[in-house]
Structure 1
Amino acid sequence: MQTDAKVVHLNKAAPEHSPTSQAGRLPVALIQVRDKAAQQLKLALQALFDNADDTLFEMADRAASNAEQNGFFEAMRDLRLKRKSIERGFLQKLFESFATLNQYEVGKAAPQLGAVSFESLSLVQDDVLEESVALDAMVARVVSRDGVALTHLTTRLNTLISQKLEDKSNPLGPRALCEQFMALCAGLGVEIRVKLIVLKLFEKYVLADLDQLYAAANQQLVELGVLPELKSAPPARRNAPGRAAPGNRAAREASAGEASGAAYADEGVQEVFGALQELLAEVRGSAAMPRRVAPADAVPISSNDLMRLLSHMQQRLPSDSGQSTDDFDLRNQLEQLLTRASAKSGKARVVGEIDEDVINLVSMLFEFILDDRTLPDSLKALIARLQIPMLKVAVLDKTFFSRGSHPARRLLNEIASAALGWSAQDDAQRDSLYQRIDQVVQRLLNDFTDDPSIFSDLLAEFLAFTGDERRRSDLLEQRTRDAEEGRAKAELARQQVEQALNTRLLGKTLPEVVVRLLQEGWSKVLQLTCLKHGSESVEWQAALLVMDDLVWSVELHEEPEDRVRLLELVPNLLKALREGLAGAAIDPFVTSEFFSQLEAVHVQAFQRFKRALPEPEVEVEPLLPTDDTSVESSGEVTPLLDLPVAAEPEVEAPAMVEVVEEIVLLAPGEVREREAEVSLPDDDQALLQVDSLRVGSWVEIQEDEEHKLRCKLAAIIKPTGKYIFVNRTGMKVLEKTRMGLAVEFRRAAIRMLDDALLFDRALESVIGNLRKLKNA
């Protein structure tokens, strides 16, 4: 069958307008894994649709009725029409799921349940139930067959991304791939029987080769140095899916896969645990791990007996959750119980070799955990009490060491992750997180005997609790970011206004009222204009022009044309000033006082112009009495120009002030703290450490000799260069500049906290230490 000849570029599979498209933020290693996996999945989907026609045609050929046959033919036609959209949509979903790996979801609302029609409920539920059962079965077969490789891939991806990934949420995991394909097939106008056939084809042509996909992805990451110690079994060679005959043979292959899946999983688990045993065997007998001397006739106890002894120890742990367990040595305690048991039975009893290895591994894991500086000291005592329950799980289920999604491992990781931001100054008795962890520990110590399902229950409860806390902290953190961004814009605008004022006023001697008007009133007009329109806008330039005109109008001028300009300028200037101050909501009484004083300044300026102008010289002849003028004999003749004229009142000169200091705009009661000016070269190690900080990074800051502050980098405000830190509730606790942080790094007052999965870090450390002992 002819396929679509158009080439779909993998790097353009995700829509450019997608809000979640953040591929640029993904690590290069992750992009390489994504692209190679997308190429394989694309080819597998093409094989699926290439063979779908043949399969449906055979089904139609064996149909029992014309209606059933027509149904299969209609399904073939529908698949042909929607093939390209399904293929394209599947790759888009894959790219989007990778793009969201390094994103935090803030304030995501819980899905709302829509109205349900009870008439169609039964039929809909039957179809949905069949699809759900088919999906679960397909996923279970892949996990059973390729679970170890999938877990290793998930663990490696977790070292590259900011979110916490699980096998079920892995973009390349069988559940995610199946759900994406089923969602795209929801638009097919076919009955449930045909949908199940299509799903079976998806399993045959896509899921069947996931072992090859996982092997290739793991190998890519190993070559890039991502957890090379994790070794997966090579994928079993199988015939290419396109060569397998459709129909009954597919069913036989599926049933054969189910029969061999458990053995394959066991093989993978034994490989991981076996590799750990080999390392232990090579270092056993060294100074770090001396051999235990046991009588020749010693009888190993069974795992069930070991579980009973551990339960006995578990019940007798100190009940005080705050009591230190530093002096608790599990192996010595167990040795004492075995000695008593041997004395009672008359036979020397020892722990079997496999169980002994499990005990050693768990002990080393907890040694790392309790020495880990990332965990707050005040919570280590609580977590240390989980050693026996974790040991019992490891004795019961060896996948504890190999499966990242194991409930017990996940519970420990989630507790450690939640405790990352817990501060020693917090009130333990009243803190909800401390109380919740204490409840988890107490329930395990009191209720866990040999049923590991309790870990799944406690994990679900703890995730619900931390999910609620995270949603609240994310909301407050987002508000903190928004407030800081608003502050940054206001600060930037204030700096622009300060620069404009100082450029025009610094070094000048001006009337005091003008300086006050500009500093206390017009500066607010400028700030609002800068915030609303920006410093490149026409409105900003107009506001600056008003300030320039005001300054010019009160300066000394002697040219005649300046008088004409002043007469024309003042009315429009006063109007612009009144409108601007009114728009900035300046107190009208204050504004009125400013303008009355400004009027006096302008009147005085006009008077200076009048005095400066020269008086015109006019020759006036004295008026003498004529012969026909009758004058009183005793009176004097007074010239007409000597009559008294009313003079204009002199306006008092305004108070003048010289601007000698830079103008700094501060809110009432505000004090601007300036950090010490430090200049470091760009390649300074401290600056490189600051630049390595990413949003979401946790740090511990030594405030003084007694107090340490744990906080998370919530935002980097680029306009001001401020680094904003919040505590685990999302509240702002610290603000630093880049240079300020570099100074703290140089004096070793800041320590990065490793937020990688605790158990995985512990296991990696144990493997590394065993290798060092082996090579010593």
Structure 2
Amino acid sequence: MHNDGKVVPLHKATTDQANHSPLARLPVILLQVRDKAAQQLRHGLQELFDNADDTLFEMADRARNDVEQNIFFEAMRDLRLKRKNIERGFLEQFFEAFVALTRHDATHNALSGSLIYEDSAPRTDDMERNVAVETMVGRVLKRDGFALDQLTLRLNALLDNTLDDQHNPLGPAMLCEYFLQAGRNLGVEIKVKLILLKLFERYVLADTEQLYAEANQLLLATGVLPQLKPAPARRVIDRAVVSVHDEEIDDLQPADEGVQEVFSALQALLVQVRGSVAPTLEPSAAAQPITTRDLLRLLSHLQQYVPALAAQDDFDLRNQLEQLLTRVSVRSGKSRVVDGADEDVINLIAMVFDCMLEDRNLPDSLKALIARLQIPMLKVAVLDKSFFSRSSHPARRLLNEIAEAAMGWGDCNGEARDSLYLRIEQVVQRLLSDFVDDPAIFSELLADFLAFTSDERRRSELLEQRLRDAEEGRAKTELARRRVEQALNQALLGKVLPPTVVMFAQNAWSKVLLLTCLKHGDRSAEWQADVQTLEQLIWSVQRHDGAAAGLRLLALVPGLLKSLRDGLTRSAFDPFATSEFFSELEALHVRVLEPSSESAQAEGPELIEVSQQIVLPGAEEGAMALSPVRLGHDDASVRQVDQLRPGSWVVFQEDEEHTLRCKLAAIIEATGKYVFVDRTGMKVLEHSRTGLALEFRRGAARALDDTLLFDRALESVLGNLRRLNRAK
């Protein structure tokens, strides 16, 4: 990074970069994409630094002591001095990433794509920063991953490259790395760096929807993969996620007083359940509390036996501790008990885990693994009381992320365990074997697990999008098929016609109408023309009295034949069958023009009356059967269905022993179809609105609560404790 204070205007930097030979190989449209994005990114960085002073000043104002306050004041000064260098360094990295696209392998010539470790930074600082970046990147991918996928596909198509999203110059991983690289000379502590990262998310990453939309639009306008379906507009609730996560900046400020205040409030509720961990001793023995350090040693001892337990239901943590304390007391000759604050933590964790393990939303096959996390979570809660007050605590987040990832996980046995089960099992085993008293292990495991689930989620989301596109295409085809049926029946029902014409209309011209309806719609001039051709064909093979009818037929036939040939050509109808039909049609027209006599009528073709509705073959196999039951809009089960949104998880009871957990991937408005997928994104089920409501009504389906597992259990336990205190 340059150390001078010279400011390079964006247009000057662009011009200078464009003079280098690698850029000369970049398509002009890609230069436009780069420059358009650079303008937005530069504006976001300016907003970041304009607001950084205020944020850091607020942090300094809330600091607990002079040393901490000085950290924030020094950071403000350092940031003012190096602001221009950081802005310029960011854009230099950004431009260099586009230059790398011209090289043989962009994924190796671009930035490393992984977070840069700082030699002077402690390992725990690196972990904390990496978890923060992983979380930021994950949020962008969850929010705007579809649009980013499309942009990457278009870049690959344009450059004939094998770029992935991680190395896309506009991807969140690369944007974060430009920022980290540009600010590597900042002499600030990790708490300040985390604040700057949150500001980067607020003012730069929050606008990736616009960034990707404009880049895709520029490439689309020049014909790069025009068949890709546009990314859906981000929902209002998705936009609100960014502002919610902005509040996490407050979590970065040390707040021991606030943590203690929350824990004191919890202790007031836990008074009623104290005494749950008490060794069996003589009543006269004087009680002597063990230290927190000794308690952690006892828990570490118990932790070594957890993996060997066959049935987690048989493991009662408080009972196991009582037995250990009794043994310690007998050996020492003193009544050793757990200190009041530590016992409160033990009781609270035990009750929360009891609640989680009774949660119907948690797959039964996962409960044994979750139960094995009880001691590690208890130890971290004893060490750090912010575990209860800070939702972003790495240990708490790890537990919630595991539960969320397994939301769609069905029952499985040892042979059927998939990569997710194995990954969760590895996390549990690592904690049980390696966690003693250093909570940094949770940040490390959280970062690894987020990377794993992010990859899995992206794969499933791509499959879901393909499924939605296919289902919407089938629905459109089904509606067009019904419209063609309607047109055929309007034209044919009640008519007496040669069988050849009826079969032609049903088997050949129906395909022409279907194609026109799909391409132009049933209100288009093309549709009206094809329907008119069918009506003219029917009229032309019927006998009509009067000389005027004959003259009309003679005038009609040339244009009719041309329209029929054009339509059959468009639909790629069999040329041999087309030729055969036109020969038969010519003969029919000749007979119609012959004088109406008994002998001519006797020699005429056999006629049939079209008396039954024409039903065309379905667009798909296994179409949903329409339920004869009708439910009102105010029916409770219908309201349950209407509350479902794409992404909602539902569990279906297949039989007494088996359930199916699946996610609502799409609601096809045209046909009223609800399409469900499994955790991998594969279609497993579909229902009509009424059919799904009936499943809810008979108890064979229920929606799963996708709120955070630990938070939900903690709130339930606190509610029970409040009621218990009021009752006493």
Same fold (TM over 0.5): yes
Distance in structure 2 (CA, Å) of the matches to 1:180 and 1:588: 57
* Other-structure match for 1:611: 597
Distance in structure 2 (CA, Å) of the matches to 1:319 and 1:593: 79
1:478 aligns with 2:465: yes
Distance in structure 2 (CA, Å) of the matches to 1:47 and 1:383: 43
* Structure 2 CA distance for partners of 1:711 and 1:316, relative to 1, 3 Å: same
1:726 aligns with 2:677: yes
Distance in structure 1 (CA, Å) of the matches to 2:676 and 2:688: 11
* Other-structure match for 1:129: 184
1:110 aligns with 2:61: no
Matches within 5 A, 1:694-773: 694-773=645-724
Distance in structure 2 (CA, Å) of the matches to 1:47 and 1:356: 42
Partner SS state of residue 401, structure 1 = helix
* Other-structure match for 1:280: 270
1:267 CA drift (Å):
0.5
1:694 CA drift (Å):
1.0
Distance in structure 1 (CA, Å) of the matches to 2:710 and 2:473: 40
Length-normalised TM-score, structure 1: 0.64
Identify which of 488, 494, 497 aligns with 2:481.
494
CA deviations 1:677-708 (Å, max 9, x no partner) are: 33222222122111111111111112333332
For the Cα contact (< 8 Å) 1:700–1:711, is it kept in 2? yes
1:479 CA drift (Å):
0.7
* Other-structure match for 2:304: 315
Distance in structure 2 (CA, Å) of the matches to 1:381 and 1:659: 67
* Other-structure match for 1:213: none
* Structure 2 CA distance for partners of 1:130 and 1:526, relative to 1, 3 Å: same
1:775 aligns with 2:726: yes
* Structure 2 CA distance for partners of 1:672 and 1:413, relative to 1, 3 Å: closer
1:520 aligns with 2:504: no
1:424 CA drift (Å):
1.3
Percent identity reads: 57
Distance in structure 2 (CA, Å) of the matches to 1:110 and 1:42: 28
For the Cα contact (< 8 Å) 2:666–2:674, is it kept in 1? yes
CA deviations 1:598-640 (Å, max 9, x no partner) are: 2232222122x4539xxxxxxxxxxxxxxxxxxxxxxxxxxxx
1:649 CA drift (Å):
8.9
CA deviations 1:175-215 (Å, max 9, x no partner) are: 6457689x9xxxxxxxxxxxxxxxxxxxxxxxxxxxxxxxx
Distance in structure 2 (CA, Å) of the matches to 1:730 and 1:327: 36
* Other-structure match for 1:301: 290
CA deviations 1:404-444 (Å, max 9, x no partner) are: 11111111011101100111157654411111111111111
1:671 CA drift (Å):
5.6
* Other-structure match for 1:552: 539
Q: Which letter does structure 1 place at the counterpart of 2:303?
A: Q
* Other-structure match for 2:260: 270
For the Cα contact (< 8 Å) 2:637–2:693, is it kept in 1? yes
* Other-structure match for 1:204: none
1:357 CA drift (Å):
0.4
Higher helix share: 2
Distance in structure 1 (CA, Å) of the matches to 2:342 and 2:717: 17
Partner SS state of residue 129, structure 1 = coil
Distance in structure 2 (CA, Å) of the matches to 1:412 and 1:589: 67
Distance in structure 2 (CA, Å) of the matches to 1:100 and 1:469: 15
1:556 CA drift (Å):
3.1
Matches within 5 A, 1:245-644: 265-281=255-271, 283-284=272-273, 295=283, 297-319=286-308, 323-424=310-411, 429-607=416-594, 609-611=595-597
Distance in structure 1 (CA, Å) of the matches to 2:650 and 2:368: 22
1:586 CA drift (Å):
1.0
Considering only aligned residues, what root-mean-square deviation do their CA atoms show, in Å? 3.9
* Structure 2 CA distance for partners of 1:498 and 1:600, relative to 1, 3 Å: same
* Structure 2 CA distance for partners of 1:429 and 1:726, relative to 1, 3 Å: closer
For the Cα contact (< 8 Å) 1:284–1:291, is it kept in 2? no
Q: Which letter does structure 1 place at the counterpart of 2:606?
A: A
CA deviations 1:492-533 (Å, max 9, x no partner) are: 111111111112122333211111101110111111111111
1:324 CA drift (Å):
2.9
Distance in structure 2 (CA, Å) of the matches to 1:551 and 1:740: 41
Partner SS state of residue 105, structure 1 = helix
CA deviations 1:643-690 (Å, max 9, x no partner) are: xxxxx9988432333323222211599464422133222222122111
Partner SS state of residue 651, structure 2 = strand
1:114 CA drift (Å):
6.8
Q: Which has the larger radius of gyration?
A: 1
Distance in structure 2 (CA, Å) of the matches to 1:528 and 1:324: 62
Distance in structure 2 (CA, Å) of the matches to 1:735 and 1:125: 46
Length-normalised TM-score, structure 2: 0.68
Partner SS state of residue 448, structure 2 = helix
Partner SS state of residue 306, structure 1 = helix
Distance in structure 1 (CA, Å) of the matches to 2:633 and 2:601: 64
In the comparison of the two structures, how many residue pairs are matched? 545
Distance in structure 1 (CA, Å) of the matches to 2:338 and 2:50: 52
1:343 CA drift (Å):
1.1
Deviates more, 1:499-508 or 1:666-675: 666-675
* Other-structure match for 1:641: none
* Other-structure match for 2:641: 690
* Other-structure match for 2:606: 655
* Structure 2 CA distance for partners of 1:135 and 1:340, relative to 1, 3 Å: closer
Q: Which letter does structure 2 place at the counterpart of 1:519?
A: Q
For the Cα contact (< 8 Å) 1:139–1:175, is it kept in 2? no
For the Cα contact (< 8 Å) 1:604–1:651, is it kept in 2? no
Gapped regions of structure 2 (runs ≥ 5):
1-35, 38-47, 56-79, 88-136, 150-163, 171-178, 209-239
Partner SS state of residue 183, structure 2 = helix
Distance in structure 1 (CA, Å) of the matches to 2:180 and 2:333: 63
Partner SS state of residue 306, structure 2 = coil
* Structure 2 CA distance for partners of 1:736 and 1:681, relative to 1, 3 Å: same
Gapped regions of structure 1 (runs ≥ 5):
1-17, 20-40, 49-70, 79-96, 116-123, 144-167, 184-216, 222-231, 236-260, 613-647
